[in-house]
Structure 1
């Protein structure tokens, strides 16, 4: 529990960012379902929290929107999880003899005690998330040397701040002196906190599964029957995680800067193909888990839909929903200097055609009442003790 307590303070501390102006909690706050409430995040250079967050001003304003929606953190400590990120670019593997296939390849240190811990180090070195821009700070400069170069800098800054050094010694048996603390211990502490704080398996649906038939209303039980039957939701949202951890193309509306590759001819996001280099994976994204889904709007890998009804109806008829979608549906804080980029991919004729040609799900016809029942069931996946987490937000937290 000492590691988790240490991880809590680190999670809400801006010491992990290049310019000391953003923390993990800025984009993953419990008041926002452990996300940020935005379609595409406002990282380094932004001001504020959630939908009130602005894109900044002057020379410190954001240079780019975060290309994808900030994923929720519920149940990421589950041992069954083997793949993370919307495109699966982090997975359990021994390809590089360090336990993971990751963007750091052989440069990822050994010693991470979970995939959640390994994941925690990558936002720290992402330019537009937490690292900052070249010339602004030492971490941002080191990122452009090699992906692992900033981690020792971050570790030193962290272990020498306040009482963090002695606390690491107290929390980790193998650490004898603060000077031994590395990015691995920082990540393991962060993962310990997230696993404890945001494990959520006490929803009314869980109570129903445990034998309490009265835990779900008639509408919610009808929605559950549709979810696992006619609506075919469980073909992807399966198992205890409510995710098959696989990748599917849903023709979600495309917008934003996209997670582009060096040779992409335009701003776009090809999803899993960006990691696998397999054309079959074009526009496929990882199936999200669904616990507390009612709290984690907006929905989709880029937050295209602000409501559960919107994303449910898109699943039922992807291409019709794609045609009906409007840019105004996106939750994007105003940034006029990025306006030329925000929706250019949405209006590109050739990219739209490629996008529409890749859909992995077939249309399903449901009545309005059946849709309402599915939404009721999804809301029943909300945990019943979320208001009393083990740690909570520090009183001195500032977004």
Structure 2
């Protein structure tokens, strides 16, 4: 994408191809990832799918980042705490335990987040590397973040379990939901206490950590580091047809994919933002994707909208900006955008080319939202706010050249060739059972 307002771009070594008028990103190998202890990752795999980490013991990390759904949930806006099932078949729950709101943003795929080049996560980058608080991370926990966390993935694992709508549940329902009201770190000791009460976890942690000699030595830090180790190891993917081409296999891409690659790195200007080996500059850009759902709002915001990066920075210049997503395995992770508003790659490309036309033509049917009757009247209320649309369009930072239908099809073909050949063959996979004895989604 060509940006009207330039920001710092992640520059990486590149591989020059004599026949091309552009340079391709450097290849990725296993050494580019955080190295994870296999024994620790094995514990993290179980914790990732264990609902004991949630306030009401009814949802796990894997519910919204499932192996069967390529590390995501296939929904525009997720159904969190209180729901049942996974993906498009997930129900919103029943009676007093039903969901109170949709998750305001799409569940981000977790492919390649263990890459050493990752410097921020979440759609608004509210967790990033930095030493503002003296602990190596700039996060919502600020200086409450415990010491000893070994990666940004370990830190990230701490936050969904503090969110009422995602995993904690609602105040009055359980001790974790109550504990995170005054301070978001209030629930972490309670979760650790739950794990300490499960003998199988105590045995595994004692074997994996030299400093863990008994249940009392297991804290939220050991738990988060295990989950981070699993995610870093499990979701690596860098064996696509494109990777084969970069490695020297001239036959790896067919003619449409080659033309799409030339457009991507050339005239279509996609690589201005989708740069580097992960196809992201890790910066934040405004695209004017349509608002719907509950919005990611501040307490004083009068409307259910999402102002993106501005929620983190309080800088008006960041209004409606969202983090550039990685495009590796992007063909596996529809729908697209911070709120899943675009159902296909073609729709997302067309939106980049002409945001105003795309916004005007967008319909609620394009959103992948399971029916929730008690929320449906408010789901699309923001689509009636033409002033908000005008504010978003005024912030748009993409100015791409027109593309023909054929060129859009070729770009889609190229994006599809970024799918790892072994993406469906994860080394560890989903467990059939977890030590808590709770059901596994």
TM-score of the superposed pair, with normalisation by structure 1? 0.98
**Structure-2 residue corresponding to 1:351:** 388
Cα distance in 1 between the residues matched to 2:106 and 2:71: 12
2:269–2:400: 8 Å Cα contact kept in structure 1? no
Q: Secondary structure at the match of 1:337?
A: coil
Matched, 1:11 2:48: yes
Cα distance in 2 between the residues matched to 1:102 and 1:21: 26
Question: Could you tell me which of 73, 95, 105 is aligned with 2:110?
Answer: 73
Gaps of 5+ in 2: 1-37, 434-438
Cα distance in 2 between the residues matched to 1:381 and 1:363: 22
Matched, 1:101 2:138: yes
Gaps of 5+ in 1: none
Question: Could you tell me which of 285, 296, 319 is aligned with 1:248?
Answer: 285
1:99–1:110: 8 Å Cα contact kept in structure 2? no
Cα distance in 1 between the residues matched to 2:44 and 2:256: 40
- 1:27-48 deviations in Å (ceiling 9; x for gaps): 0012112100000000001111
Cα distance in 2 between the residues matched to 1:176 and 1:97: 29
Q: Secondary structure at the match of 1:266?
A: coil
Matched, 1:270 2:312: no
Q: Secondary structure at the match of 1:186?
A: helix
Cα distance in 2 between the residues matched to 1:150 and 1:279: 33
**Distance apart, 1:344 and its partner CA:** 1.3
TM-score of the superposed pair, with normalisation by structure 2? 0.89
**Structure-2 residue corresponding to 1:398:** 440
**Structure-1 residue corresponding to 2:348:** 311
Larger mean Cα displacement after TM superposition, 128-137 or 90-99 = 90-99
**Does the C-alpha gap of structure 1 residues 182 and 189 become closer, same or farther in structure 2, counting only changes over 3 Å?**
same
- 1:118-146 deviations in Å (ceiling 9; x for gaps): 00100011000000001100000001121
Cα distance in 2 between the residues matched to 1:171 and 1:339: 47
**Structure-1 residue corresponding to 2:75:** 38
**Structure-2 residue corresponding to 1:47:** 84
**Distance apart, 1:173 and its partner CA:** 2.1
**Distance apart, 1:292 and its partner CA:** 0.6
Q: Secondary structure at the match of 2:96?
A: helix
2:124–2:312: 8 Å Cα contact kept in structure 1? yes
1:317–1:364: 8 Å Cα contact kept in structure 2? no
Q: Root-mean-square deviation (CA), in Å? A: 1.0
Which structure is higher in RCO with an 8 Å CA cutoff and minimum separation 6?
2
- 1:75-125 deviations in Å (ceiling 9; x for gaps): 000111111110110011111111111111111111111111100100011
Question: Could you tell me which of 163, 177, 180 is aligned with 1:126?
Answer: 163
Cα distance in 2 between the residues matched to 1:19 and 1:84: 26
**Distance apart, 1:385 and its partner CA:** 1.2
